[in-house]
Amino acid sequence: MRFILFLTLLGSLALLPAQALKAQQGDQQKITALMTAQTTAWNKGDINGFMQTYWHSDSLLFIGKNGVTYGWQATLDRYKKTYPDATTMGTLDFKLLEFKPLAAGLYLLIGKWHLQRTIGDLEGHFSLVLKKIQGEWKIIADHSS
């Protein structure tokens, strides 16, 4: 009887890594969809829509070439000042390079961005910290250079 109990316990433990991997894959798919939503909004010239993927909080952190910006509204204002029209916005493309789970409900995403523009292309890399908040993935920190 103990042997059967041991085998049952061992079988249950063997399933845990597979379940964790499946959960990670689901999280990565949802984060990829979030990044697709960002790209779609940007390419429509919709900065407000683009910002819906960010945590709407004064604690949001954005780090760019000009330093640190704190808060959702300040980040939105910064985007609108830097990209005031379709010409400066161009067409955005992301390449998602690495997904790193940091803890339950917390990911680090490393990627590359490219803006194709008639006034000259721009490109760089980014690291995002994403957190699952009330069942939705949100960007809580963005370092883009």
Query: In this structure, what CATH number is given to the domain that contains residue 89?
Result: 3.10.450.50
Check pLDDT > 90 for residue 24.
no
Number of domains in the chain: 1
Greater confidence (13 vs 90) lies with: 90
Check pLDDT > 60 for residue 110.
yes
Over residues 124-128, the mean pLDDT reads 98
Q: Which two tokens stand for residue 18?
A: 């597979």
pLDDT band for position 26 (cuts 50, 70, 90): confident
Instruction: Supply the mean pLDDT for the chain.
Output: 89
Over residues 37-46, the mean pLDDT reads 97
Nearest residue to 83 via CA among 128, 37, 50, 125:
50
Q: What is the domain extent for residue 11?
A: 2-144
d(CA 84, CA 87): 8
Check pLDDT > 60 for residue 9.
no
